[in-house]
Amino acid sequence: MNEIPTESLSLPPAPGGAAGVDTRLMRAAIAQDLFDAPAAPVQIGRFEILRRIGAGAMGDVFAAHDPQLGRTVAVKLVRAERRDAHTASLLREARALAKLVHPRVVTIFESGVHDGEVFLAMEYFDGGSLAQWIDAHPVRTRADVWATLAKFVDAGVGLAAAHAAGLVHRDFKPANVLLATDGRIAVADFGLAGTTRTAAPDPVPGAPSSLEQTSMTLAGGGTPAYMAPEQFRGDADARADQYAFCVALFEGLVGSRPGVSALDAERADIARRMPTTAARLVPRWIRAALVRGLASDPSARFPSMEALLVALDRRRHTARRRTAVVVGFVAAGLGGAWALAAPSPCASLSTDGAIWSGPRRAAVEAAYLATGQAPAATFFGEIDEALIDWSRDWAAARRDACEASHGAGQQSAARADARADCLEHARVSIDATIDAFIDVDPRTIANTRDVLARLPSIGRCEDPQALAAADEVAAIDRAAYDAAFAEVARARARLAAGQVVRLDDLQRGALDAVDPTRHPHLGAEVQLMIGEAVGLVDAATSLEQHLVPAARLAVASGDRILIAEARGLGECGRRQQGLAALVRPRRGGARGDDRGGSTAGLRVGGPGRGADERRRSRGGR
Amino acid sequence: MDDDLQLLRSWHGGDKAAGNELFTRHFAALRRFFRNKVAAEDGQDLVQRTLLETVRSSPTFRGDSSFRTFLFTIARRELCHHIRRKHRKIDQAEVDLTVSSVIDLGLSPSAFAANQQAHERILAAMQSIPVDFQITLELHYWEQLDAADIAAVLEIAPGTVRTRLHRAREALRARLVELDAGHGESGADLEASLTQAALVL
């Protein structure tokens, strides 16, 4: 490089992203200060930016006012530098959080694009991070140990919830746990999150590469100081989060991290030889749990975050319950893990075997093996594993709901009923999914992993907003509602499994009982389902007549998961339309407006298409 | 631009709306002037100080040069004051803006990774050449000021601007060569060295 290219000396572009917001905030502040000019609020979407509250690795965060709901939110924007990489990360975070509704995980309200920049609007926390809290609360007494442990167990419950939703955080550290002065605490910064299903055999030909697989194959980033040894090799599952959690907890209790990084020290040994002052304060079982959680070999760690948390919370189970103030361990979030300790009227409520019972399991296995397709056995193994987990979680959640409703005044009877309804609907949905597995066809095999990645959410039954929707149930004839729900669940499970759903075959009678103005939640589900089915044939009609109305109903219902789903399908429809427009001219006039043709043209990996086109359509999925 | 002059007079006479209009016209240039030189949290203060000093000293401004030149002259003086204030805290050494860069002076402007697009590489390199060289290049290339105006802002003789511009380009070119040599061509190498740095921390 001998000459400076003149064009690079030209005026730099105006700052975008977070820096652009900074500029606008500065301008408004000066106009106000010097000229008494009532500054128009700096807006991103409908949010009015108040001030900058932090800078993260990928993006900057601002406090903002939501005039529609009258609350303060946190708005995250990508940095101007390395914008593409950071935008991808922000979108990954939006997807991850949309799947996950839990009080110990930061809630995402909305994602959107403003002036070409992606932003996320999230729950606002005004109490700083756990990293700041640790600095302000060094452990000097036994009581400090319990206070620190309580904060970490809260955060750990959030991590466990993420794992239950199939997500690995991959960047857990105290700076990524947020506190609010009203006592809320939640895990944040899911920008590096991926799925827990790390084994990635060759994709089945013709199978769409799912979002999950894309984010999984990305090289695992993370913060080296907290990273497990296997994560340096780009191989992180939930146990890497457990390791990072233990590094952080050690730091919280001892005041420094165990060694510099997993690469040049056996951290478990450091935990074993904890400095004497700390060792005097930190109980033996906590030290033992840290030693295990910091094992270099993932298989030597606890099998799950829940197991680690139970080990850490041993104090609750011991008879020496001297200080009952042990602080708010959130039993609910753990799916009633401690409920096992004492027998209760709910203990005999259900066995998880009922859902994934012997005959049902055998039917799916036989159907899969009968297809004679090579990956069928592998996929059945994954189904088996996922459904065993799901049934266990469901049973625990139901037992938990039961205990909560028996508990004195813990929640209103209405809320307890709503929770039970929600869980019952989850059961109906999973039954429909199992039915779809039994009716397996080659497309179903290809879609197996997608289906498993989106099993009905149990966590959403803990979400007050989702439960509000259950009021709808009470508002109409119970049997009619359940029939409509079952019909929708059946069709949606089949669509998810790649099976054909003919609109003529739907039991329209059941669906017609749903009045969308009175039952926006179920109405949205109906429109989503029909939109999905129609979309396979005619993307434009699907979008206009079903998905857009579905999105409106979803918003009316207030259920964030449904909103996200409607948006996702709508986006998909829009891309397909764009894609169809791209594909048609290349084929010349021969195809005309043959509707079946447009569907075939959209199938990924179909014969006789250029690599270029295939890439584009895959991007559109 | 005599419009600017009228606005300035009105603002000096107490017309805040006129001040706001003037501010609106020139905010982007002022922000640009400080953005690549001082930390984000100091930028607002410096823009504000520059504006206040502009209206305070407006009676001395006779309009021989454009208002923009006047504004940049004051902005550069405010930058010098800022550097002195900061430096008094560190040591008593005299600051020479034809020798020290904003990086040398510890002004911590926003960092740019060296492997970015061309303009970001330039921004990064600009931060490590002497401050007055940086200002010379910016005024010449970004703000399209002519030699006489640049001389006014830097408060030097008009005849020396040519030499100044030449030396500034040389310094920038040398810096870009250093950046290339230091980090190699590939982004992967840089990533690796960043990871190494993070491990040391």
The complex's ipTM works out to 0.77
Residue A468 is predicted with a pLDDT of 57
Q: Can you read off the two tokens belonging to residue B5?
A: 């002059």
Local confidence band at A8 (pLDDT 50, 70, 90 cut-offs): low
**B150 phi and psi, to 5 degrees?**
-60, -40
Q: Are A53 and A74 in contact (CB under 8 A)?
A: yes
Could you tell me if A266 and A134 lie in one domain?
yes
Please give the distance of CA A91 from its chain centroid, rounded to a whole number: 12
d(CA A482, CA A424) in angstroms, rounded, equals 10
User: Does residue A582 lie in a domain region?
Assistant: no
B87-96 per-position pLDDT tens digit: 765 555 566 7
Whether A142 shows a pLDDT value over 90: the answer reads no
**Of A516, A517, A509, A434, which is closest to residue A479 (Cα–Cα)?**
A509
Q: Are A16 and A83 in contact (CB under 8 A)?
A: yes
Residue A619 is predicted with a pLDDT of 38
Q: How far apart are the CA of B197 and the nearest CA of chain A, in angstroms?
A: 10
CATH number, position B196: 1.10.1740.10
A171 is catalytic: yes
Task: Name residue B47's amino acid.
Answer: V
CB contact under 8 Å between A30 and B169, yes or no, is: no
> What value, to the nearest 5°, has the Cα angle with vertex A542 and ends A540 and A544?
70
User: Does residue A590 lie in a domain region?
Assistant: no
Residues on chain A touching B15 (C-beta within 8 angstroms): none
Local confidence band at A7 (pLDDT 50, 70, 90 cut-offs): low
User: Does residue A539 lie in a domain region?
Assistant: yes
Q: How far apart are the CA of A225 and the nearest CA of chain B, in angstroms?
A: 7
Nearest to B48 among A7, A19, A33 (CB): A33
User: What is the number of alpha carbons within 13 Å of residue A556 lying toward its C-beta?
Assistant: 17
CB contact under 8 Å between B199 and A261, yes or no, is: yes
Q: Which is higher by pLDDT, A469 or A148? A: A148
**B153 phi and psi, to 5 degrees?**
-65, -45
Is residue A12 within 8 angstroms of chain B, CB to CB?
yes
Could you tell me if A434 and A552 lie in one domain?
yes
CB contact under 8 Å between A9 and B201, yes or no, is: no
Query: Radius of gyration (Cα) for chain A, nearest Å?
Result: 26
User: Does residue A613 lie in a domain region?
Assistant: no
Q: Is B114 exposed, middle or buried (0-12, 13-18, 19+ CB in 10 A)?
A: middle
Could you tell me if A384 and A429 lie in one domain?
yes
Residues on chain A touching B112 (C-beta within 8 angstroms): 81
Asked which of A526-540, B58-72, B87-101 is least confident by mean pLDDT, the reply is B87-101
Could you tell me if A102 and A245 lie in one domain?
no
User: Does residue A602 lie in a domain region?
Assistant: no
Question: What letter would DSSP give residue A589?
Answer: G
Could you tell me if A520 and A419 lie in one domain?
yes
Nearest to B198 among A22, A35, A224 (CB): A224
Could you tell me if A137 and A186 lie in one domain?
yes
Task: Name residue A310's amino acid.
Answer: V
Whether B81 shows a pLDDT value over 70: the answer reads yes
Helices and strands, counts by H and E, chain B: 9, 0
Q: Write b or e for each residue in A196-212: b if 16 or more Cβ atoms lie within 10 A of its Cβ, otherwise e.
A: bbeeeeeebeebbebbb
SS3 A295: coil
User: Does residue A477 lie in a domain region?
Assistant: yes
- The helix (run of H) or strand (run of E) holding residue A66 is strand A59-66
Q: Are A160 and A264 in contact (CB under 8 A)?
A: no
CATH number, position A266: 1.10.510.10
Could you tell me if A515 and A553 lie in one domain?
yes
Q: Which of A88, A123, A158 is the last residue of a domain?
A: A123
d(CA A87, CA A58) in angstroms, rounded, equals 8
Could you tell me if A249 and A303 lie in one domain?
yes
Could you tell me if A231 and A333 lie in one domain?
yes
Q: Can you read off the two tokens belonging to residue B7?
A: 């606005």
Residue A474 is predicted with a pLDDT of 58
- Sole residue written with tokens 């069709």: A491
> Total structural domains in chain A?
3
Q: Which of A89, A104, A123 is the last residue of a domain?
A: A123
User: Does residue A589 lie in a domain region?
Assistant: no
Could you tell me if A119 and A135 lie in one domain?
no
d(CA A309, CA A153) in angstroms, rounded, equals 6
CB contact under 8 Å between A33 and B169, yes or no, is: no
Q: Which of A27, A62, A226, A256 to mutate to test the interface with B (most CBs of B within 10 A)?
A: A27
Whether B18 shows a pLDDT value over 70: the answer reads yes
d(CA A192, CA A208) in angstroms, rounded, equals 22
Q: DSSP readout, A355-423?
A: TT-HHHHHHHHHHHHHT--TTHHHHHHHHHHHHHHHHHHHHHHHHHHHHHHHSTTSS-HHHHHHHHHHH
CB contact under 8 Å between A224 and B32, yes or no, is: no
B107-146 per-position pLDDT tens digit: 766 666 544 566 677 788 888 899 999 999 999 888 889 9
Q: Are A257 and A251 in contact (CB under 8 A)?
A: yes
The arithmetic mean of pLDDT across residues A156-181, rounded, is 90
A positions 306-335 inside 8 Å of B (CB):
none
Nearest to A81 among B120, B137, B169 (CB): B120
B99 — alpha (psi -120 to 50), left (phi > 0) or beta?
alpha
CB contact under 8 Å between A34 and B19, yes or no, is: yes
Residues on chain B touching A11 (C-beta within 8 angstroms): 141-142
Q: Are B93 and B106 in contact (CB under 8 A)?
A: no
A30-73 per-position pLDDT tens digit: 888 888 887 677 888 889 988 888 766 566 889 999 888 888 99
> What value, to the nearest 5°, has the Cα angle with vertex B124 and ends B123 and B127?
85
Task: Name residue A322's amino acid.
Answer: R
Could you tell me if A89 and A194 lie in one domain?
no
Could you tell me if A145 and A180 lie in one domain?
yes
d(CA A442, CA A427) in angstroms, rounded, equals 26
Sequence-separated (6 or more) residues with CB below 8 Å from residue A126? A72, A180, A181
Q: How many Cβ contacts (< 8 angstroms) between chains A and B? A: 82
> Total structural domains in chain B?
1
Local confidence band at A95 (pLDDT 50, 70, 90 cut-offs): confident
Q: Which of B25, B42, B119 to mutate to test the interface with A (most CBs of A within 10 A)?
A: B119
Structural domain that includes position A489: 352-573
User: What is the number of alpha carbons within 13 Å of residue A233 lying toward its C-beta?
Assistant: 9
Q: Are A198 and A192 in contact (CB under 8 A)?
A: no
User: Does residue A618 lie in a domain region?
Assistant: no
Question: What letter would DSSP give residue A138?
Answer: -
- Sole residue written with tokens 């000096």: B12
Q: DSSP readout, A78-108?
A: E-STTHHHHHHHHHHHHHHHHT---TTBPPE
d(CA B133, CA B148) in angstroms, rounded, equals 16
Structural domain that includes position B131: 2-200
Question: What letter would DSSP give residue B139?
Answer: I
d(CA A49, CA A38) in angstroms, rounded, equals 15
Question: Which among A66, A154, A171, A538 is annotated as catalytic?
Answer: A171
SS3 A325: coil
CATH number, position A84: 3.30.200.20
- Sole residue written with tokens 């703000």: B143
A194-233 per-position pLDDT tens digit: 765 433 322 223 333 332 322 222 334 578 888 888 888 8
